[in-house]
Amino acid sequence: MEGPLALLVGCFFASAIYLMLSDSLIRILLGVTILANAVNLLIFTAGRIVKEVPPIIPEDAMVPPIATANPLPQALILTAIVISFSFFAFLLVLVFRTYQGLGTDKTGKMHMAEEPGDPVPPRGY
Amino acid sequence: MSTVIFRAIAPYLTALMVLFSVFVLLRGHNNPGGGFIGGLIAASAFAIYGIAYGVPPVRRALRFHPMGIAGFGLVVATLAGVPSLIGGKPFLTALWAYPKIFGMEVAISTATFFDIGVYLVVLGTITSVALSLEERER
Amino acid sequence: MAESAGHAAVDVASAMVTAPIAPLDAIIVAPTLITLLFGAVLLMARKRPETQAPLGIAGLLLLTAATAGILARVVTGGPLTMTMGSWLPPFGITFAVDVLGASFALVSSVVALVVGVFASRGLRRVESRYGFYPFLLLMMAGVCNAFLTGDIFNLYVWFEVMLIASFGLIVLGNSKEQLDGAVRYAVLNLLAAAFFLTATGYLYGALGTLNMAEIAIKLREGVPGMPVNTITALYILGFGMKAAAFPVAFWLPASYHTPSPSAGAVFAGLLTKVGAYALLRTLIMLMPSEEALYDTFLTAIAIGTMLLGSLGAMGHSDFRRILGYLVISGIGVILAGLAIGTAEGLAGGIFYAFHSMIVMSALYLASGLIGQLGGSQDLRKLGGLYGASPLLAGLTLTLVFSVSALPPFSGFWAKILVTEAAMVDGRWWLAGIVLGTGLLNALASGRAFTQIFWRGGPSGTPDGAEKSVPGEIPGEDRAVLFGSLAALTLMSLVIGLWPSPLMRLAEAGAAGLLDPTLYIRAVFGGAS
């Protein structure tokens, strides 16, 4: 099972990088999201795939009665999902405002912070 | 977006979703569920209400600013770790109490309060983001 | 845990901490509690601008006291640890702080405190209403806890806390320039975090643990078939991006000049240093064998970073962008110490990080006052500010000397350490570049100083012409603004004149990285 999943992680990384190389902010945003999912899937695969039951302890027991799947990668992924989700929400607002403020979503046309043709400092006094 | 059908059904949908979010939050201690997913459900409930009726009614209905709710949740979640420190145990150790309420044993732990804090943080931040996006659409 | 009837008792001693912790050891979570609680309360009190500054400064003051307490405890009693939720390490998330982490935390909270005081008068009203202080406190939660945590995934989480709070700070004010800078800052820092997380995923897959102490043990024993090369390369890339190291540094000068001077000061002082700290922690403490392997590579990165920073500072006309490049140049010196990898080199790098935190923050604060007085940050449009404020000129000149690492200021000793370590290690060319970029920095910052303060008017006007000062600093604000700037400047001077305490801390920090036995014993011994 690890083989196909590893390939899938590779595809995710490839498409994320392809999207992030784009000029359009929305595509970059989608790329960042896919990248986050690629990393999550990577952690999931690296944490070993097993055919065990989910790590939920029945109500009348204090310890799981049989072997269960490793819950830690899932906890890590859940944390990473929460973080990437909140970043996506923030970036969405930021990109939308940038689009409204600058009137463009093309990174090549965003020159507010860095003036094109960098002015050189004065040579004398 | 705001058709008659949607506007008629939105208040009920919102109420049901908020109720369900609280159910998911409380269920989360021993079963799938919890503060994060509960908070998301509640936030989407307010987002639906906002799509149907516009943002000002949602802000009125919430009474507090969403970021204020998130701040309160953060306070609750942080303080949930403190009682164990007072008892000489490491930070965030879950402490349990089993009071009998109406003859039924109810398990209450500091972890529950942590989860409630998470619920409020997620509810506040996601509602805030959703409302600010909806405001700009108009 | 369950004492109630109806629940079967299990032996918890094999998985949980049962011994009570000493009350004083609880100070290790004090920074977490203080920053999160004050940040949250400030968030709730957004509608009352008059409460923001007093509450925020009180929180930062408490934070400084707490980190000072932790440092005092760590210096006398060795590394301090606590594993959250009573789970035995490595199962629970461990906070473990040694001299390195504690001193980084103390210096960063001192800097944040001074900037917090400056911001109480230096901020435009709209920024304080939209929450400078809540974001500052939450950012400090990320910064301080990143220095205190002993779990590599938890380090990732605090990095992200720091990042999302800094997003809040960078867009405060909502100008077009800020939005533009924020997009670059946000996307590239997210990318860096993704690389960090990828490396952590591989590390977990190979070792089955995230606890730094256990990682250090396992990697010293050696794990056959582990992709340790890939992991190291990803860590260098991810943390290098955060720290603004050479090929991946260009987001910094593109964004750090856009937020308000107060926000810029904490960014320049603290955020890149967290990346440098994480590099020190992972490369030296966790993967010492890999550091030796990547030696040449890291040296190349350090040289590139120093040169990029210094040459960039020479070639720019906007004062705050010049400062951004000077931050990068400083990171290069820290990386040079890291690349040398000996105790002395590391101590020099760590000392330089302390110096850079203080001096770069102070320079950004000075740039805020220059902007307020001169109405611009552009060297072509500034001039004659010496007449407007000799005090500001004096403070800025001191900082210019300090950032150029001239004696008797703080940067001098750090550069001496790094240079000497490079010579001892037989890398005289690295020593030459460290000193050469120091000269370039002196040229760049000195030229900025003369053009801002000494000449009569901006270029195009006859020299010596009467320069009318466009802006003014209100009299009631002067004491606070100049006082906080002078405090940071004085710190640099005092460290320069009396470097031994901080140098001892840097040396102890470097020793703890090279030989983490005490750290490991504190994590695992404290539990049994």
pLDDT, tens only, A32-75: 999 999 999 999 888 877 777 777 777 777 777 777 788 888 88
**Cα separations in angstroms, C465 against A62, C378, C388, C459:** 84, 19, 14, 11
For B91, which residue in chain C has the nearest alpha carbon?
C84
Q: What is the dihedral of CA C26, C31, C36, C39, to 10 degrees?
A: 140
At residue A49, what are phi and psi to the nearest 5 degrees? -95, 125
Where does residue C390 rank: exposed (0-12), middle (13-18), buried (19+ CB within 10 A)?
exposed
| Residues from chain A contacting residue C196 (CB–CB below 8 Å) | none
Record: contact B84-C6, CB cut-off 8 A = no
Within 13 Å, how many C-alpha atoms sit on residue C8's CB side? 9
Query: Quick check: is A115 in a domain?
Result: no
Within-domain flag for A60? no
CA-based nearest distance C375→chain B, Å: 33
**B131: nearest CA in chain A?**
A93
Number of domains chain A contains:
1
- pLDDT tens readout for residues C396-429: 999 999 999 888 888 889 999 999 999 998 888 9
- Chain-chain contact of A122 with C451 (C-beta, under 8 angstroms): yes
Q: Which of B11-15, B54-58, B109-113, C45-49 has the lowest mean pLDDT?
A: C45-49
Show the CA angle centred on residue B30, arms to residues B29 and B31, nearest 5°: 105
Cβ burial C71-100 (10 Å sphere, 16+ → b, else e): bebbeeeebbbbbbbbbbbbebbbbbbbbb
Residue A58 counted as domain residue: no
Beta strands in chain B (DSSP E): 96-97, 100-101, 104-105, 108-109
A20 in contact with C at a CB cutoff of 8 Å?
A: yes
Query: Cα(C514)–Cα(C114) distance, rounded to whole angstroms?
Result: 32
Residue A63's CB is within 10 A of a number of other CB atoms, namely 9
Tell me: pLDDT of B10 over 70: yes
Count the neighbouring beta carbons within 10 Å of the beta carbon of residue C203. 29
| Distance, CA of B18 to CA of A88 (rounded, Å) | 24
Q: Is residue A122 part of a domain?
A: no
Task: For A46, name the nearest residue in chain C, comparing CA atoms only.
Answer: C205
To the nearest whole angstrom, how far is the Cα of C396 from the nearest Cα of chain B? 39
Residue C40 amino acid letter:
A
Query: If you count them, how many residues does chain B have?
Result: 138
Contact A82 B36 (CB under 8 A): yes
The span from the CA of C55 to the CA of C61, in Å, is 10
Cβ within 8 Å of residue C386, ≥6 positions away: C393, C453, C454
Mark yes or no for CB contact A112/C179 under 8 Å: yes
Q: How far is CA C339 from the centre of its chain?
A: 19
Inside any domain, residue A6? yes
A121 → closest Cβ in C2, C164, C316: C316
Range of the domain at A32: 2-52+69-105
Angle (nearest 5°) at CA B113 between B107 and B114: 125
Q: Which of C491, C515, C500 is nearest to C108 (CA)?
A: C491
**Cα separation values, A79 from A16, A76, B69, B138, Å:** 21, 5, 21, 34
For residue A61, being part of any structural domain is answered with no
Average pLDDT in chain A: 85
CATH of the domain at A76: 1.10.287
For residue A118, count other CB atoms closer than 10 A to its CB: 12
**C140-165 residue pLDDT tens:** 999 999 999 999 999 999 999 999 99
Helix (H) or strand (E) holding C82: strand C80-83
Question: Is A121 at the interface with chain C, CB within 8 A?
Answer: yes
Residues of B near A (Cβ–Cβ under 8 Å) read: 30-32, 36, 125-126, 129, 132-133, 136
Nearest CA of chain A to the CA of C37: how many Å? Answer: 20
- Domain boundaries of chain C, sorted by first residue: 291-497
Measured between beta carbons, the chain A residues lying within 8 angstroms of C2 are 62
pLDDT at B9: 92
Phi, psi (degrees; rounded to nearest 5) at C15? -125, -10
Amino acid at B73: G
Q: Do B125 and A86 touch (CB under 8 A)?
A: yes
Give the closest residue to B10 by CA, choosing from B56, B45, B60, B55: B45
**Average pLDDT of A89-109?**
86
Q: Does residue C342 come out as left (phi exceeding 0), alpha (psi in the -120 to 50 range) or beta?
A: beta
Cβ contacts (< 8 Å) between C163 and chain A: which residues? 87
Q: How far is B129 from chain A (nearest CA, A)?
A: 7
Report the C-alpha gap between C478 and C469 in whole angstroms: 16
pLDDT at C467: 55
Residue B46 structure tokens: 């307010």
Query: Six-digit token pair at A29?
Result: 């945003």
Give dist(CA C30, CA C97) in Å, integer. 13
Q: Are C137 and C60 in contact (CB under 8 A)?
A: yes
For position C5, what pLDDT does the model report? Answer: 40
Is the peptide bond between C462 and the residue preceding it cis, with omega within 30 degrees of 0? no
Chains that touch B (3 or more CB pairs under 8 A): A, C
Q: Cβ of C82 and B91 within 8 Å?
A: yes
Q: Is residue A123 part of a domain?
A: no
Chain A hits for B136, CB-CB cut-off 8 Å, are: 96-97, 100
Asked whether C295 and C328 are in contact (CB, 8 A), the reply is no
Task: Select from B118, B125, B127, B129 the residue whose CB has the most chain A CBs within 10 Å, as the one to mutate to test that interface.
Answer: B129
Nearest C-alpha in B relative to A101: B136
In a domain, A62, yes or no: no
CA atoms A88, A91, A97, A98: torsion sign: negative
Given an 8 Å threshold on Cβ–Cβ distance, is B79 in contact with C40?
no
Number of Cβ within a 10 Å radius of residue C515: 13
From the list A57, A78, A93, the residue facing B132 with the nearest CB is A93
Between B and C, how many residue pairs show a Cβ–Cβ distance under 8 A?
Answer: 78
Q: Mutate which of A93, A99, A100 to disrupt the B interface (most B C-beta within 10 Å)?
A: A93
**Distance between CA atoms of residues B42 and B20, nearest Å:** 8
- pLDDT by residue for chain C (528 residues), tens only, comes to 334 444 445 666 677 777 777 777 888 999 999 999 999 999 998 888 888 888 999 999 999 999 999 999 999 988 888 888 888 888 888 999 999 999 999 999 999 999 999 998 887 766 666 788 999 999 999 999 999 999 999 999 999 999 999 998 988 877 888 888 899 899 999 999 999 999 999 999 888 889 999 999 988 888 887 888 889 999 999 999 999 998 888 899 888 888 888 999 999 989 999 999 999 999 888 888 776 778 888 999 999 999 999 999 998 888 999 999 999 999 999 999 999 888 999 999 999 999 999 999 999 999 999 988 887 888 877 777 887 788 999 999 999 999 998 888 888 899 999 999 999 988 889 999 999 999 999 999 999 998 888 877 666 665 655 555 667 777 778 888 999 999 999 999 999 999 999 999 999 999 999 998 888 888 887 544
Cβ–Cβ under 8 Å, residues B98 and B107: yes
Measure the CA–CA gap between C364 and C306, rounded to whole angstroms: 20
Residue C294 DSSP SS3: coil
Of the residues C187, C196, C228, C321, the best mutation for testing chain A's interface (the one with the most A CB atoms within 10 Å of its CB) is: C187
CB atoms A93 and B36 under 8 Å:
no
Is C21 touching B (CB cutoff 8 A)?
Answer: yes
Residue C245, both tokens: 């190291």
Residue C224: how many other CB atoms lie within 10 Å: 4
Q: How far is CA C52 from CA B130, C119, C136, C176, in A?
A: 26, 11, 11, 26
Helix axes B110-137, A71-102, angle to 10 degrees: 30
- Measure CA C270 to chain center: 3
Is C356 within 8 Å of C334 (Cβ atoms)? yes
> Do A90 and B133 count as a contact with CB atoms less than 8 A apart?
no
Q: How far is C68 from chain A (nearest CA, A)?
A: 31
Closest residue in B to A86 (Cα) is B126
Residue C80 has φ and ψ, to the nearest 5°, of -115, 135
pLDDT at C224: 81
- Which residues lie closer than 8 Å to A118 by C-beta, 6 or more apart? C315, C316, C317
- Tell me: pLDDT of A2 over 90: no
Residue C408 preceded by cis peptide, ω within 30: yes
Q: Which residues of A touch B (CB under 8 A)?
A: 56-57, 59, 78, 82, 86, 89-90, 92-93, 96-97, 100
C86 with B96: Cβ contact below 8 A: no
Among C414, C396, C402, C413, which Cα is nearest to C276's?
A: C414
Largest distance between two CA atoms of chain C: 91
Neighbours of chain A (3+ CB pairs under 8 A): B, C
**Token pair of A114 as six digits:** 């860095």
pLDDT of residue C462: 58
Distance, CA of B119 to CA of B138 (rounded, Å)? 29
